[in-house]
Amino acid sequence: MRQETEPGRPQQPPALEAARRGDPGAFDQVVRPLLGSLLALARRLAGEAAGEDLLQEGLLRAWRGLAGFREETTFRAWVAGILFRLSREPRRFRPRPERAAAARAIPDRLDPDPLLKASARELLDRVEQALERLPAPQRTALHLRAIEGWGYAEIAAALETSAGAARTAVFAARRRLRARMGDLL
Amino acid sequence: MKTTRTPACPWEDRVLQAFLEGTPAGDAGVVAAHLEECPECRKALDQSRALDALLASRARTEISEAQADRLLAFLERPAAARPRRRPALRLLPVLAGLLALALLLPGRREPREQVALAAAPAEVGRPEPGLPQLAGLLASRSLAVSDSYRLPPPVEVPSPGPELLLAAFCGRPDPALGEARLAQEAAKILAAADPLEPGPLAMAAVDWLLDRIQAGALPTRRALEPGRLLLEAEDEARWELVRLFRLRPVLLRKLAGLPLGQEPELAPLHGALGNEAALPALAAGGEERQLAAVRGAWRTGDEQAARFVLALFLKAALRSTAQERAGAEWVLAMPGPMAELLLPELARRALGERRHPERTLCKRLLEALRGELSAAGS
């Protein structure tokens, strides 16, 4: 999954050119495999409740603005950048403070060992809470690096910053999380 | 970037993190040797590794075909290739008109229906390109603008400037700007906004306006009239409506005050039912409306809606008032698949709930469900 952008032009999905000519099917083909990770990012940026709205709005903007995509970075980094910028609009997709348990999906089946799962879940919940308290660029950078496995060049493109600054953001995020999690890790 | 980890060790945290990522700034051997000797750095590195492993262990966000189709539904619409007006902003002229009416016609004692119909003049005779059905609907209702409701020419006052206004709309009002003045400015901004690219000021004005409606400071019933009309519109308009309410949970909460018991009215709200913001309104809506919502979700087989309503009832059940408990027990009376949905959540709550009465209630519901499931199995 980790794809450091090569010097020069990064490789783009084959259907991208057709999508740029206005073929909706080609755009679907390009974007559909990315939807899972984009939704995860959108939820990270806007919270569980508004994440899907943010993604839908971001996809619409990507489709409308596809002609403006300069292939200096990957397509997914470009869309991630749209989501990141969109999430910063005043009061639109900011995470709501009350992210209650009910916002999570209700599990389909009961786990075989709920108590064991519960402690792991609690630890993960603590990490999630600590992540939410990070500044948006650090949160996004760590999410893309540690969860999605992106390279720093792509993270930098999404955050509209340099690769060095993206790396610094990831390091700072890790340091803060370590401090907040303490001996739980 | 000096480390805050250990004042005793002069090594910088970034050196360790670069080592962790396999891209050490200097000789990796030197770092490894230092780690052998320095327990503080070793602990910091182990914690970073554990953190990364924990984050990587998160289940990847899976997306169903149906969800993907929904996210990309805009591609299938005829006007997808050309820019469209943002759904949430289609009502901007209406909101602006409403606001102006509210401000400029204080104290009028007109019949409610007349006032409500007069609230939509901006839409009349100017059909939206994507909403032919809505335009037809509006036209069929003869929403002519009465002369008595024509707006007087706007009073020209110097604008306070976008920065002051943005700050005010975002909750930091200038003391010199009263609410009435802000409302006037919001109306002007919304009337002049480009629906395609409204910009932060217009979006903030929309949010502020909706906040004021929610707080009861603006005439809610009239402001919601366009939404009520949209509810009766055809498929295209409904799709827009669902998007609108997903973006604007405040409106959803308000609309949840409408009767949800009839299926035609429930249908366009399915997409919005996943929004937690709707919970309080439905929860406050009384048993009859809640049960109607459950029936609608159940009948249409919409899993998202069903889960939402279940979450509602679980919340209600945990509050344990008699009426809400009755609602939860009504859900329990439903056959197999609904109970299967409910079971894991009840088990989780029963295991995790610390307060005795709620734990007891969860366990009781759980037992009832188990009984039902085993009966269904046999």
Interface with chain A: mutation pick from B49, B55, B201, B242, highest number of A CBs within 10 Å: B55
Report the distance separating Cα B278 and Cα B252, nearest Å: 6
Q: Which pair of structure tokens corresponds to residue B31? A: 């770092």
Instruction: Quote the pTM value.
Output: 0.45
ipTM (interface pTM): 0.77
Query: Is there a contact between B351 and A181 if contact means CB atoms under 8 Å apart?
Result: no
pLDDT tens sequence across B246-296: 444 444 444 444 433 333 333 334 333 344 444 445 545 555 555 555 555
pLDDT tens sequence across A131-177: 888 888 899 999 999 888 898 989 999 988 888 888 888 988 988 88
Residues A89, B200 contacting (CB under 8 angstroms): yes
Q: Does A184 touch chain B (CB under 8 A)?
A: no
Tell me how close the Cα of A155 comes to any Cα of chain B, in angstroms: 15
B316: closest chain A residue by CA: A102
Query: Is there a contact between B170 and A90 if contact means CB atoms under 8 Å apart?
Result: yes
pLDDT tens sequence across B112-165: 333 222 222 233 333 332 333 333 333 332 222 222 223 334 445 567 788 888
Q: Residue A80 CA to chain centroid, in angstroms? A: 6
Under 8 Å CB pairs connecting chains A and B tally to: 146
3-state SS of chain B is: CCCCCCCCCCCCHHHHHHHHCCCCCCCHHHHHHHHHHCHHHHHHHHHHHHHHHHHHCCCCCCCCHHHHHHHCHHHHCHHHHCCCCCHHHHCHHHHHHHHHHHHHCCCCCCCHHHHHHHCCHHHCCCCCCCCHHHHHHHHHCCCCCCHHHCCCCCCCCCCCCHHHHHHHHCCCCCCCCCHHHHHHHHHHHHHHCCCCCCHHHHHHHHHHHHHHHHCCCCCHHHHCHHHHHHHCCCHHHHHHHHHHHHHCHHHHHHHCCCCCCCHHHHHHHHHHCCCHHHHHHHHCCCHHHHHHHHHHHHHHCCHHHHHHHHHHHHHHHHHCCHHHHHHHHHHHCCCHHHHHHHHHHHHHHHHHCCCHHHHHHHHHHHHHHHHHHHHHHC
- The whole-number pLDDT of residue A140 equals 92
**Residues of B in Cβ contact (< 8 Å) with A125:** none
Interface with chain A: mutation pick from B20, B63, B373, highest number of A CBs within 10 Å: B63
Write out the DSSP string of B138-179. Answer: HHHTT-PPPGGGPPPPPPP-----HHHHHHHHTT---TT--H
Low-confidence ranges of chain B (pLDDT < 50): 1-7, 79-90, 101-155, 195-197, 220-280, 283, 298-303, 316-324, 327, 334-336
- The whole-number pLDDT of residue A155 equals 93
Report the distance separating Cα B23 and Cα B189, nearest Å: 52
Query: Is there a contact between A24 and B76 if contact means CB atoms under 8 Å apart?
Result: yes
Query: Is there a contact between A174 and B83 if contact means CB atoms under 8 Å apart?
Result: no
Report the distance separating Cα B220 and Cα B226, nearest Å: 11
Query: Is there a contact between B61 and A64 if contact means CB atoms under 8 Å apart?
Result: no
Q: At what angle do helices A163-181 and A152-159 cross, to 10 degrees?
A: 90
Judge whether residue A38 has pLDDT over 90: yes
Q: Does A106 touch chain B (CB under 8 A)?
A: yes
Q: Which pair of structure tokens corresponds to residue B198? A: 């409204």
Please identify among residues 14-73 of chain A the ones whose CB lies closer than 8 Å to any CB of chain B. Answer: 22, 24-25, 27-28, 31-32, 35-37, 39-40, 43, 49, 52-53, 55-57, 59-60, 63-64
Please identify among residues 72-91 of chain A the ones whose CB lies closer than 8 Å to any CB of chain B. Answer: 89-91
Report the distance separating Cα B160 and Cα B164, nearest Å: 6
Report the amino acid identity of residue B198: P
Judge whether residue A80 has pLDDT over 90: yes
Tell me how close the Cα of B1 comes to any Cα of chain A, in angstroms: 9
- The whole-number pLDDT of residue B366 equals 62
pLDDT band at A77 (very low <50, low <70, confident <90, very high): very high
